[in-house]
Amino acid sequence: MDKLFFTSLTAPELRALFKEEIAKYFQDNPLKVKVKSLENHERLTRKQICEEYKISLGTIHNLMKRGELPYDKVGRKTLFKREDVELCIKRKRGEL
């Protein structure tokens, strides 16, 4: 960036100058952001687990209580990663 000397710029002119320089910088230096795949991190509610895997709410509660099924609380909602649910089911069925 060239050295600039600000002598008598108004606030809008200064804003426009900064905006232009920032835009040039990001055009020359694009952000390199890695986005993780959310495919394997789908979150399920207790109701969804009951419907999809034919497991009762009581069973889910017991698995949570014993620490066999990891979960996250978001506000009042309890959410489970699909991969954790499937892993727990496989363990219970003796497939692992």
What is the pLDDT at residue 59? 94
The count of structural domains within the chain is 1
Domain annotation covers residue 64: yes
Q: Are 79 and 47 in contact (CB under 8 A)?
A: no
pLDDT truncated to tens, each residue of the chain (96 aa)? Answer: 566 666 687 888 888 988 999 888 888 887 776 655 555 578 999 999 999 999 999 999 999 999 999 999 999 999 999 999 999 999 988 865
Domain annotation covers residue 18: no
Domain annotation covers residue 32: no
Residue by residue, what is the 3-state secondary structure of the chain?
Answer: CCCCCCCCCCHHHHHHHHHHHHHHHHHHCCCCCCCCCCHHHCEECHHHHHHHHCCCHHHHHHHHHCCCCCCEEECCEEEEEHHHHHHHHHHHCCCC
Domain annotation covers residue 5: no
Domain annotation covers residue 76: yes
Domain annotation covers residue 55: yes
What is the pLDDT at residue 94? 83
Domain annotation covers residue 15: no
Q: Which domain holds residue 76?
A: 39-92
Model-wide pTM > 0.75: no
